[in-house]
Chains A and B, each alone.
Chain A
């Protein structure tokens, strides 16, 4: 009972994906190690490059696309991205506020005396 062979990608697709990934990785190293970008903009630049590379991996290696049998995968991915964003951005936001509103350590010592 042989299943119908559905090509899950091709040699060209993997190779193009590898080329894009190498390019984006190289760009990340260059951006982080040189003064090519305005210094305060480097974290944002690195984040953009990382998200672009994750997109390349999803499309060229994991074959998440717009095909009819792919709708469920894309919906699940969208939900996953939502949860990841909430966890990471929410933690950073809350902890930054807690940190800003925290009493200095010396004041706490003073109160405990």
Chain B
């Protein structure tokens, strides 16, 4: 039971943290609950479908269907995060104005909500389908008592993931509103970098991109990626104890573009007023 709880927890943690972050980033935008729920519902339904068709997907594109599909899903999420970040920079000239700006432009807010709902859905799609396949494997093969264990473990893992997402949400909300948007903005930019480096890794795995240096450095003696903290940092800011060149390059380009464009847009908006 504990084993399945841990495995389900690991799969849902990423989605839970992303939902927590998105809920903070969209605080004050009318209709955010509806859109985030839509993202969660759509992501879960998609995860079920993806688990069902996993076999077919695996055999596509000379056996690289999984990598290419997951990389595409990640890159859609990265572009939505980047778009949200730049939208925020244009609409909120200063952190203090952010809340008011969001309250005012309900119509415009809906657009960025749609994008972030897609980010939530994408996270659930990828991680949820793995959790479903894992649980299905137990249900299909083992005795009735172990199925009961699996259900308990699965729910436990899901609950624990939800607690982590909620902890991130309420933890971030304790930050003074003056800095909150700067903090969530930074987190969203780094999350996008993390996803982009994952996508680059998958494309290297599919042999579409070169790996470049592997590894660039080794900090597994300080903090392994598999440890709880390492895993948390891996999801949120893209920590890797032995990063490849291509992953770092994708990370740098994404984070640089998002923060660079965000700053340029913000500067222009300030000059116009």
Whether A and B are associated in the same complex: the answer reads no
Which residues of B pack against A, CB within 8 Å?
Answer: none
Which residues of A pack against B, CB within 8 Å?
Answer: none
